[in-house]
Amino acid sequence: MADAATPTPHAAEHAAEHPSYLAHHFAGIDQQFEAGSLGMWVFLVTEIMFFGGLFAGYAVYRHLYLPGFEAGSRLLDVRFGAANTAVLIGSSLTMALAVRAAQMNRRKALILCLILTMLLGAAFLGIKFTYEWSHDYEDHLVPGMGFSYPGPNAPAIQLFFCFYFFMTGLHALHMVIGLGIMAVLVWMAARGKFDDGYYSPIEVSGLYWHFIDIVWIFLFPLLYLVGGRY
């Protein structure tokens, strides 16, 4: 602040009325919390529109090339997809528990739940990268990286895999960012930055994490279960 004078009484008053986590431009902690929450919801709406474009493209091409899309879907391993779904749902549970722990001012539980969420998220990415994507690469199913499919409907299958990698890739990117956010939260929680009066970063990050989970809930059936017989 560009005050000409900085009297000590003001500083004391300052500390009392303005907790360290209250940003100066907000009128109060409630306004800050509500703004943060609304901000995250608005951001999630933009993410829905972002993924929505891909879903729209997927819908159009699935309609045009159903046999190819079904064939492509059957080339994915449903077991891994299902395992990932379970892992993500579990991570949403641990995230919700983390928020609860923060609300109840239980720091150890908070940190534990955040770390569990991270582990489950990492497990998701691990399954995806090591079991699914690397095998897809070996089977020449990655468009642009030596894609080749000997059977019928090859162009449609390539298109399917294009959407598959775009959609799951974009999703995985958001997961990685989510893990980064979780790491920061763990660090902040360890430093004692949260208590039952202030935990909005946890809550707001929880919203983000649940959103990523919900996107996967849509991706799994559309990509893995389309083919029918598995």
Partner 1 sequence: MSAAPGAPAAARVDYLNADYGIRSWLLTTDHKRIALLYLGTITLMFFVGGTLAVLMRLHLIDPAGALVHPDTYNKLFTMHGIIMIFFFLIPSIPAVLGNFLVPLMIGAKDLAFPKINLLSWYVFITGASLALYSLVAGGVDTGWTFYTPYSSTYSNSHVISMAIGVFITGFSSILTGLNFIVTIHKMRAPGLTWFRMPLFLWAIYGTSLIMILATPVIAITIMLVGAERILHVGIFDPALGGDPLLFQHLFWFYSHPAVYIMILPGMGVISELITCFSRKKIFGYSFVAFSSMAIAVISFLVWGHHMFVAGQSVYAALIFSLLSFLVAIPSAIKVFNWTATLYQGSISYEAPMLYALGFIGLFTMGGLTGLFLASLATDVHLSGTYFIVAHFHYIMVGGAVMAYMGGLHFWWPKITGRLYPDMWARIAAAIIFFGFNLTFFPQFMLGYLGMPRRYATYPAEFQILNVMSSAGASILGIGYLIPLIYLIWSIRYGPVAPPNPWRAKGLEWQTPSPPPTYNFETTPVVTEEAYAYGPADSAEEGAHG
Partner 2 sequence: MIPHAIAAALLDAGQKWPGFELHPESASTIADGVDELHFFLTAVTLFFTFVIFTVIFYFMVRYRRKSEDEQPPETRTYLPLELTWTLVPTALCVVVFVWSSSLYFQNSRAPNAAMEIFVVGKQWMWHLQHPEGVREINELHVPVGVPVKLTMTSQDVIHDFYIPAFRVKQDVLPGRYVSIWFQATKTGRFHFFCSQYCGTGHASMIGWVEVMSPDDYAAWLAGGTRGETMLQAGERLFQQYGCATCHVADGSGRGPSLAGQFGKPQKLRDGQTLVVDEGFLRRAITQPNSMPLPNYAPVMPSFQGQLNEEQILQLIAYVKSLAGEERKTKGQ
| Interface residues toward partner 1, by CB under 8 A | 1-5, 23-27, 31, 34-35, 38-39, 42-43, 45-47, 49-54, 56-57, 60-61, 64-65, 143-144, 155-156, 158-159, 162, 166
CB of 53 to partner 1, least distance (A): 3
* Helix, strand, coil content of the chain in percent (nearest 5): 75, 0, 25
Nearer to partner 2, 163 or 199 (CB): 163
Contact track, partner 2, 123-152, x by CB under 8 A: -----------------------------x
What are the angstrom distances between the C-alpha of 102 and each of 30, 53, 70, 177, 192?
Answer: 17, 36, 45, 22, 11
Nearer to partner 2, 126 or 155 (CB): 155
Contact 44, 207 (CB under 8 A): yes
CB of 157 to partner 2, least distance (A): 11
Torsion angle in degrees (nearest 10) through CA of 114, 118, 121, 122 = -170
Beta-carbon neighbour count of residue 204 at 10 Å? 20
Q: How far apart are CA 13 and CA 148, in angstroms?
A: 70
Q: Tell me the two tokens of residue 108.
A: 């150890």
Q: Is 65 in the site for partner 2 (CB under 8 A)?
A: yes
CB of 167 to partner 2, least distance (A): 22
Contact track, partner 2, 166-205, x by CB under 8 A: ----------------------------------------
Contact track, partner 2, 105-124, x by CB under 8 A: --------------------
Nearer to partner 2, 73 or 200 (CB): 73
Contact track, partner 2, 70-89, x by CB under 8 A: --------------------
The angle that helices 66-74 and 29-64 make with each other, rounded to 10 degrees, is 110
Contact 137, 51 (CB under 8 A): no
CA within 13 Å, CB half, 180 = 6
Q: Is 158 in the site for partner 2 (CB under 8 A)?
A: no
Question: Which among 207, 223, 134 has a CA at the least distance from the CA of 174?
Answer: 207
Binding site for partner 2 (CB under 8 A): 65-68, 152-153, 155-156
